Structure 1
């Protein structure tokens, strides 16, 4: 049994980790930390976990995380980079669901995240946890940078085109929509029901911190710099990301076959039949990315539709997928979940 600790168990990503790990028969939950809620039973805050998680929140100091085999950081940006070294030195593997280790250029990370990096030496060691690209490196890793939600949907949607070199990589467009849970479980005006409900708006148009992460991943796949316009939007729903992606073909190719071949062995990427229109509700609660690819009017513009649950394949589910790889468990263990509909 893999002994698991979770740092930061009170947010949406933390509770999603607990929901998924509670049904994973290859792990045992050792500790779930929260400085503010230490001593409170987890099931008191989240009654959905009654009968599944019997632990109480503990402070990081009392959690004895060094006794774990792996620790997930479901914390705000800037926490894991200050605490990972001590755990790694104790032989504990670390999976960071925030952005502390995602961007290899530390100066670039500091520019976008507005703080100094506390452990720049670890950035070079961290493995970017997109299994569909880095599976073998993940198996050997002791530190995983779990991808962001938008970057997961966008990269999986563009990867077959970039890897095959069949599109102009200098003029990609990612038009993305996310549910409000992507903003986290905190009191902010824009996430209030009266602000987000019955409303639709763009944000981060001048530049969003997920942009360099997406460009980095796609540039690595294609071996050349990426030109990307990325515009995220907030939608009045709780879960889900819908990424509508545009690229211009530089030669004629059967894009449907290209995607089907690229993801034929990927259990968590579903390439839908030609002409399909994937919906966010088709992945709600599941670890699947559903993709449909189109060529409107048979022209040279490719439109890729990519949907994920931002809390599962975009966060906690992908983190568990990475954990399974790191510990030699079946990759889909604990993640064989049928999405919830309606």
Structure 2
């Protein structure tokens, strides 16, 4: 029997991707898509790729559903839950950063579990509420979790580049085409908002608290995807590392360890994370790539929903990369 789903904040990029996934999910009925600014408009008038796929219109009202997705701006989810009464049986998946850290992971009687399946899959299965991870956080963590479990992390130097959709749908000085085209820029150097959740996750597997992660994010001249490169000291051989990584991810259907070079088009339009390893002497570089709107947001939210409701983890997420 299909579950019912509602979406709050359905007009943005993550909302649009979530609608695209859920209307084709065999076990989900989308009961409503909420947007105050677009109430009464066809969903396909905002998300034009959905023309012919759905007759849904944006609603200014809510109704009880089995699961509620919050696709709001950072800091808005907590306000929304404080101002609205949600049925206690409704499971909530928040795509913002409001509940990702242990110190801020609850509101009222609702406790949120950090929703990275590669780390917390069993806790997700029995949770009532999920804090969906950040996009950069997901890409960095999948590259480092096996090393953390082996206790091999100390000083890590990470760079990562993201597409313009990571900045959201509203136009800004750093996201419009004439600025972004033929251009890159470092931003939030060593001070990105995802560092806190990454640190807490790595400490789950390597509690010695001796990890120092330095991160420089970049804005890229493309629309979708994140490519991460993390450099650190490691004495294991590349053959030993490949065994380590493949063993860690052997039961995780979306995370793949490649012995060939990793490239962004392998993951764009999919819920995959692809990892590549390179060594020179004692230096290890871990490359990891995801689609920021799917494995980094809406796809991972559906993956978490599947786990919450006992569906196959891969249900509704059999997406093909747009390689050409």
TM range (shorter): over 0.9
Q: Which of the numbers 306, 309, 322 marks the counterpart of 2:304?
A: 322
Superposed counterparts of 1:1-342, under 5 Å: 1-59=2-60, 62-64=61-63, 67-84=64-81, 89-106=87-104, 120=107, 125-165=111-151, 167=152, 169-225=153-209, 226-249=211-234, 254-273=240-259, 276-296=260-280, 299-342=281-324
Structure 2 spans left out of the alignment, 5+ residues: none
CA distance in 2, matches of 1:20, 1:146: 16
Provide the secondary structure at the position in 2 that maps to 1:189. coil
- The more displaced of 259-268 and 244-253 is 244-253
Separation (CA, whole Å) in 2 of partners of 1:210 and 1:37: 30
Residue 30 of structure 1 deviates from its aligned partner by 0.4
The two structures, once aligned, show a CA RMSD in angstroms of 1.7
The structure with the greater share of residues assigned to helix is: 1
Counterpart Cα distance in 1 of 2:66 and 2:229: 39
Rounded to whole Å, the distance in 2 between the matches of 1:192 and 1:72 is 28
> How many residue pairs are counted as aligned between the two chains?
320
* CA deviation vs aligned residue, 1:293-325 (integer Å, no higher than 9, x gap): 1112xx221111100000000000000000000
Deviation at 1:76, TM superposition (A): 0.2
1:146-187 Cα deviation digits (max 9, x unpaired): 00000001000001111011x2x3311111110010000012
SS of the aligned residue for 2:297 comes to helix
The Cα shift of 1:251 comes to: 5.5
Q: What is the CA–CA distance in structure 1 between the aligned matches of 2:43 and 2:290, rounded to whole Å?
A: 27
Q: CA deviation at 1:229?
A: 0.0
8 A contact 2:66–2:91 mirrored in 1: yes
- Alpha-carbon contact 2:163-2:226 (below 8 Å) kept: yes
Deviation at 1:250, TM superposition (A): 5.2
* TM-score (normalised: structure 2): 0.94
- Unmatched 5+ stretches in structure 1: 110-118
Matched residue SS, 2:98: coil
- Contact 2:12/2:168 (CA < 8 Å) preserved in 1? yes
Partner Cα separation in structure 1 for residue 112 and residue 62 of structure 2: 24
